[in-house]
A and B are shown apart, each in its own frame.
Chain A
Amino acid sequence: MTENTQKKRMLDTKMVPAPSHGIIPERDLNSTPVLEARHLGIEFGGLKAVDDFNLIIGKTEIAGLIGPNGAGKTTVFNLLTKVYQPTMGTIMVNGKDTAGMNTVQANKLGIARTFQNIRLFDNMTVEDNVRIGLHNQVRYGMFTGILRLPAYWKQEKAQHEKALELLSLFDMQDLAGTRAGSLPYGAQRRLEIVRALATNPSLLLLDEPAAGMNPHETEELMRNIIRIRDRFQIAIMLIEHDMNLVMGICEGICVLNYGRIIAKGTADEIQANPTVIEAYLGKKKEG
């Protein structure tokens, strides 16, 4: 993975009015960035959990968000997905301002996520979990469903096939009928990714996707993340403590400490950055 030589630094939005963006210029130069966060911040009762967060993510970029525990990484995800309403700054998704939107609207605009503490629909089957992801791409109403009109049968079939196709990404199609809550831990994390993908996002946020996985599983996950990016042509941003994964696949990395960005850049730059080493890698030099 590390032989990825195309890495270029992420632009700091504060300094340059973004003439180009994205990590791989030839790929993303002419398209609107998927995500553009400017001066984003939130206060909880006077405490600035995230402050002056600026980030641009290109159309098919894989970005990493790292930082010590409590740095505000998940809060950034919660802001981007509008679980929390930011008290400062703007978020543009595919060029559209998300001010005043809620989580549902943010998802419809193209942001999907997974959760640090897995949030599956435990009592539903694996397939139904994916079908929930497909919810907004299937269009039949309550009465069509109750009366089982032809549209119901047609779209249910299409949905079933699509769900199995997505599950096959992780070789999970055989588990379609299993109750999601009874899956092993790693499979639950993979199912969350499939479910998020099903919403047809342009930006996929993964909150600690490798947590609890063994090195072998993590390596497979890394391959799969890249495969997903290539196949669906989407941007992926991930929070992860596993430095092998972050340094291995992230084309741009953003380091957060005490709610502020302390560094941005490629893996090599981050690893060489003295501020980062002091705040983070200095204590945990396993990457």
Chain B
Amino acid sequence: MKLKKSTINNLISYGVVIVAFIVCQAMISSGAMSRSLKGQMVPICVYIVMAISLNLVVGISGELSLGHAGFMSIGAFSAIIGAAWLRAALGIENEILLLVLSMIVGGAFAGIFGVLIGIPVLRLRGDYLAIVTLAFGEIIRNVLNCLYFSLEGSRLHVSFNNPSIPGTILLNGPNGAKDVAKIATFPVGFVLILFTLFVVMNLVNSRSGRAIMASRDNRIAAEAMGINVTKYKMMAFVTAAVLAGMAGALYGLNFSTVAASKFKFDTSILVLVFVVLGGIGNIWGSIIAATLLTVLPELLRAFADYRMLVYAIVLILVMLATNNPFIRSLFDRLIHRGRSAQTQRGGAAE
């Protein structure tokens, strides 16, 4: 019975995303969507995937990560380099194939770094873990600022802190990547969202996902039940890193120039804001918050100089309101009423 329920929930989720995609596509092709919003479609997909994957770490696994943008940047740059190399060495010209392969490259590299970073990070707890993820994010950005990649025929050259390398420069230290082939498309972004939902929702409803949540709820009890807590924290962390890497790949291939400064601490925080505002552990909340908050600065264009100020004030007010005991209990009552109306079992809790 429970299995069926989770399966139905998943199917509804996919359905809603598909409908949203069709509506957006229809608006784009009929010209109903403004130019600036059209330009936002791929970033929205990217941030949705970033938010869902960070939610896997923060909400499902219960560890605060402040360096998620680091994995995004690894994904972006390895995908940019990968795309150029795949085109030159294997002669792949089909843009969708190239994009998908580059996203796999980006996800794989981010995953490798997820493992490398996860080993030390997951030995720590709480705020210490958070500050170390922040530190790793900054280290990744700093190191990327010193990396130079070039392509000579089908040969890749790498150098550290030395801009003079042969061939066409792909990654130019602090200036980042230039003349990137803009092959990212909204439909591929949409497929990436579906893929992310598929991975995360199925993971949560499996043996591994339950072990991840048990480790979050009570580490000591989980260990006493024979659950290797570090292994499952790692699983969530690396899965999130891979997804963030793929999102980063999509992001990197959407702009003609990408510099490491785009993936600052602020970006990690931005994604965290999506997760918290959407509700920790709530995947749908992440999707909605990521969409609204990516579009919001656009909508606030009328406020011109004041828009970031308004954004900040809205953020504070929303946090104060959602954590106000009175408003909270009001919400709980509404949600509870809705639930007990749906299932007979709802009241059994009390």
A–B in direct contact per CB < 8 Å:
yes
Please list the residues of chain A having a beta carbon within 8 angstroms of any beta carbon in chain B: 81, 83, 102-104, 107-108, 112-113, 115, 119-125, 127-129, 131-133, 135-136, 138, 140-142, 144-148, 152-153, 155-157, 159-160, 174-179, 182-183, 195-196, 198-199
Q: Is the interface of B mostly helix, strand, loop or mixed?
A: helix
Contacts of A183 in B (CB 8 A): 349
Whether B224 pairs with A132 at a CB distance below 8 angstroms is no
Q: How far is the CA of A169 from the CA of B79 in the complex (A)?
A: 55
Q: B198, B207, B208, B350 — which one has the most chain A CB atoms within 10 A of its CB? A: B207
Please list the residues of chain B having a beta carbon within 8 angstroms of any beta carbon in chain A: 2-3, 198-199, 202-203, 205-211, 213-214, 216-218, 220-229, 235, 345, 348-350
Contacts of B218 in A (CB 8 A): 119-122
Q: A108, A135, A177 — which one has the most chain B CB atoms within 10 A of its CB? A: A135
Q: How far is the CA of A129 from the CA of B229 in the complex (A)?
A: 15
Whether A132 pairs with B222 at a CB distance below 8 angstroms is yes
Q: How far is the CA of A148 from the CA of B199 in the complex (A)?
A: 10
Whether B224 pairs with A103 at a CB distance below 8 angstroms is yes
Whether A142 pairs with B210 at a CB distance below 8 angstroms is no
Whether A177 pairs with B2 at a CB distance below 8 angstroms is yes
Contacts of B211 in A (CB 8 A): 132, 135
Whether B223 pairs with A104 at a CB distance below 8 angstroms is yes
13 contacts between A and B (CB under 8 A): A103-B224, A104-B229, A107-B225, A107-B226, A115-B224, A121-B217, A135-B210, A141-B208, A142-B203, A142-B206, A146-B198, A147-B202, A156-B207
Contacts of B348 in A (CB 8 A): 174-175, 177-178
Q: How far is the CA of A27 from the CA of B18 in the complex (A)?
A: 64
Contacts of B205 in A (CB 8 A): 145
Whether A148 pairs with B225 at a CB distance below 8 angstroms is no
Contacts of A128 in B (CB 8 A): 210, 213
Tell me the minimal C-beta distance from B227 to chain A in angstroms.
6
Tell me the minimal C-beta distance from B11 to chain A in angstroms.
12
Q: How far is the CA of A194 from the CA of B52 in the complex (A)?
A: 34
Tell me the minimal C-beta distance from A115 to chain B in angstroms.
7
Whether B225 pairs with A199 at a CB distance below 8 angstroms is yes
Whether A131 pairs with B210 at a CB distance below 8 angstroms is yes
Among A83, A122, A135, A152, point to the contact of B217 (Cβ < 8 A). A122
Q: How far is the CA of A174 from the CA of B199 in the complex (A)?
A: 31
Whether A145 pairs with B220 at a CB distance below 8 angstroms is no
Tell me the minimal C-beta distance from A23 to chain B in angstroms.
26
CB-based nearest B residue for A145: B206
Contacts of A198 in B (CB 8 A): 225
The answer to whether A135 and B227 touch (CB under 8 A), given A120-B218, A121-B214, A177-B2, is yes
Whether B224 pairs with A124 at a CB distance below 8 angstroms is no
Contacts of B225 in A (CB 8 A): 107, 112, 132-133, 135, 195-196, 198-199
The answer to whether A104 and B203 touch (CB under 8 A), given A115-B221, A132-B214, A178-B349, is no
The answer to whether A179 and B214 touch (CB under 8 A), given A83-B224, A160-B2, is no
Q: How far is the CA of A132 from the CA of B9 in the complex (A)?
A: 22
The answer to whether A104 and B2 touch (CB under 8 A), given A124-B210, A145-B207, is no
Q: How far is the CA of A44 from the CA of B70 in the complex (A)?
A: 41
Tell me the minimal C-beta distance from B238 to chain A in angstroms.
10
Tell me the minimal C-beta distance from B143 to chain A in angstroms.
30
